[in-house]
Amino acid sequence: ETLAIVGVGKGQAWSCASCHGEAGQGNLSTPRLAGLPAEYIVKQLHDFSSGLRTNESMLVVAKGLSSTEIEDVARYYEQIGLPSTVSPGMGGELERGRILAQQGDWKSNVPACFSCHGMSGEGVAPGFPALAGQQPDYIFAQLAAWQAGERKNSPQSLMDGIAKQMSVQDMRSVSDYLATL
97 counts as binding ligand HEM under rule CB under 6 A: no
45 counts as binding ligand HEM under rule CB under 6 A: yes
61 counts as binding ligand HEM under rule CB under 6 A: yes
- Selected from 34, 86, 90, 110, the binder of ligand HEM by CB under 6 A is 110
Per CB under 6 A, contacts with ligand HEM among 117-156 are 117, 127-129, 131, 139, 141-143, 153-154
What's the rounded Cα separation, in Å, for the pair 174 and 144? Answer: 12
Kindly list the residues in this chain that would bind ligand HEM in the complex (CB under 6 A): 8, 14, 16, 18-20, 29-31, 33, 36, 40-41, 43-45, 55, 57-58, 61, 73, 100, 110-111, 113, 115-117, 127-129, 131, 139, 141-143, 153-154, 157-159, 162, 174
